[in-house]
Amino acid sequence: MEKTDVSSQVLTQLAVKIMLVIAALCLGALAPSTWAADDRDDAGARAAFLKAYPVFMHPRCLNCHPAGDAPLQGDDSLPHAQNVQRGPEGRGRYALKCANCHQAANLPGENLPPGNPKWHMPPPGMRMVFQGKSPGDLCKQLKDPAQNGGMTLEELIDHVSHDKLVLWGWDPGNGRSKPPSHVEFVDHLRTWVKKGAACPE
């Protein structure tokens, strides 16, 4: 099946890239043994992905990964009130660029604009939609370098582990709800990758 082919292809690429990553970036966290292909367990991978899935669907994560071209806001994920648009670079448009209000840090006070130095949405060329995606579709999208910004799976793990904007989800500022545990989220994704990164149906 094509799916399997893609997975194995990805895994083959992984082996090469892992060496490069270790050499170039000295990333000790991801030991080569973690990625051994003989750990493959499709059912286990799917189960792990399903455990991580609610985080992607949490408003703190989903709101900037909408199906349309407007960011969402609030726990009810309504379109951003000021008709804010994704814009050509995922940074808003004209007088409504994200960083005009969303600054380097969360502003203190309820409902004031949260902030992060990297505050943005996926650009139009790499939309990385979460909203409305089934676990299977989301999984495929995350794994597809053409859709995920050319990331390998370990880069993906690194991204969700360390990216400051991802981490903002767990430090969203006054009164905002947080997604389930970040540590467990990363663990689930690691397990998913370790077991071969199969996608749920």
Partner 1 sequence: MSGIFNLSRRKFCQAGMLAGGGLILGFYLPGLDRAAAAAPPIEGTFAPNAFLKIGTDDLVTVIVNHSEMGQGVYTALPMLVAEELDADWSKVRFEAAPVDPVYNHALWGMQATGGSTSTWTEYERLRQAGATARAMLIAAAAAAWKVAPSSLRAEQGQVVHTASGRRLTYGQLAEKAAGLAPPKNVKLKDPKNFKLIGKPAKRLDTPEKVNGQGVYGLDVKVSGLLTALIARPPVFGGKVKSFDAEKAKAVPGVRQVVQIDRGIAVVAEGFWAAKRGREALGIVWDEGPQAGLDSRKQREQFAELAAQPGAVAKQKGDADAALAGAAKKIEAIYELPYLAHAPMEPLNCVADVRGGSCEIWVGTQFQTGDRDTAVEITGLKPGQVKLHTMLLGGGFGRRAVPDSHFVREAVQVSKAVKAPVKVVWTREDDIRGGYYRPVVYHAIAAGLDGAGHPVTWRHRIVCQSFTVDTPFEGAMMEHGVDASAVEGARGLPYEIPNLLVDWKRAPGAVPCLWWRSVGHSHNAFVVESFFDEVARAAGKDPYEFRRALLKNHPRHKRALELAAQKAGWGKPLPPGMGRGLAVHESFKSFVAQVAEVSVSKEGKIRVHRVVCAIDCGPVVNPDTIAAQMESGIVFGLSAALYGEITFANGRVQQRNFHDYPVLRINEMPVVEVHIVSSKDAMGGVGETGVPPIAPAVANAIFAATGRRIRRLPIRGEDLKKV
Partner 2 sequence: MIKLKVNRKEYTVDINPETPLLWVLRENLGLTGTKFGCGMALCGACTVHLDGEAVRSCVTPVARAEGKEITTIEGLSLDSGHPLQQAWIAEDVPQCGYCMSGQIMSAAVLLRENPRPADADIDAAMAGNICRCGAYQRIRRAIHLAARIQGQGGGR
Q: Kindly list the residues in this chain that would bind partner 2 in the complex (CB under 8 A).
A: 81-85, 93-97, 99-101, 103-104, 107, 109, 111-113
Residue 99 interacting partner from partner 1, partner 2, none (CB closer than 5 to 8 Å by kind): partner 2
- Is 177 near partner 1 (CB under 8 A)? no
Residue closer to partner 2 (CB basis): 2 or 94? 94
Residue 164 to residue 178: CA distance in whole angstroms: 15
**Which amino acid is it at 125?**
G
Q: At 148, list the tokens.
A: 């995920």
Could you tell me the smallest distance in angstroms from the CB atom of residue 80 to partner 1? 11
Helix (H) or strand (E) holding 20: helix 2-25
Residue 156 interacting partner from partner 1, partner 2, none (CB closer than 5 to 8 Å by kind): none
The beta-strand segments (E) located in 48-183 are 72-73, 78-79, 92-93, 96-97
> Per-residue x/- mask for partner 1, residues 60 to 99, rule CB under 8 A?
---------------------xxx----------------
Q: At 84, list the tokens.
A: 């804010």
Phi, psi for residue 93 in degrees, rounded to 5? -135, 145
Residue tagged 């582990």 (tokens): 161
Residue 95 interacting partner from partner 2, partner 1, none (CB closer than 5 to 8 Å by kind): partner 2
DSSP class of residue 112 equals: S
- Is 174 near partner 1 (CB under 8 A)? no
Residue closer to partner 2 (CB basis): 23 or 95? 95
Phi, psi for residue 96 in degrees, rounded to 5? -120, 55
Residue closer to partner 2 (CB basis): 114 or 122? 114
- Contacting positions for partner 1 (CB under 8 A): 81-83, 111
